[in-house]
C-alpha cells in the first residue's frame, strides 16, 4: 500500500524557522519540498532525476510567499508531465 504524506499548509509554512545545524528541508511529497536558508529566505524546491542521465538534482521554483501553494501544485504537475 502506498504511503500517504500530509501536505504542508500555509500556516505551517509561515511558522517554520531556520534551525542552525537542524533540518531545514520540509517535504511536501512527490519530490516537492520547502527549504529555509540562514538568511530567513523560504523557498519551494523540487527534487527530481534528470532524464537520460538519471542524475538527482534540485530545482528552485520560487520564494514564499510569492509562490502560493495552489500555484505550486499546478507547477508541480506540469513539471512531472515533462519528465
Domains for the chain: give ranges and CATH numbers: 10-82 (3.30.160.390)
Relative to beta strand 56-63, strand 25-29 is unpaired
Predicted confidence (pLDDT) at residue 75 exceeds the cutoff of 80: no
**CA-closest candidate to residue 45, choices 5, 82, 3, 8:** 8
* Site of grid cell 519551494: 44
More confident residue, 4 or 21: 21
Is 49:55 a contact under the CB 8 Å cutoff?
yes
14-50 pLDDT, tens per residue?
Answer: 999 999 988 899 998 888 899 999 999 999 998 989 8
pTM as predicted = 0.77
* Percent of the chain scoring above 90 in pLDDT: 42
Amino acid at each position: 500500500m502506498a504511503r500517504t504524506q500530509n501536505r504542508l499548509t500555509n500556516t505551517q509554512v509561515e511558522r517554520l524557522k531556520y534551525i542552525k545545524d537542524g533540518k531545514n528541508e520540509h517535504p511536501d511529497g512527490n519530490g516537492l519540498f520547502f527549504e529555509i536558508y540562514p538568511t530567513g529566505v523560504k523557498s519551494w524546491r523540487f527534487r527530481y532525476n534528470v532524464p537520460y542521465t538519471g542524475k538527482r538534482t534540485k530545482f528552485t521554483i520560487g520564494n514564499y510567499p510569492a509562490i502560493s501553494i495552489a500555484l505550486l501544485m499546478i507547477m508541480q504537475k506540469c513539471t512531472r508531465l515533462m519528465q
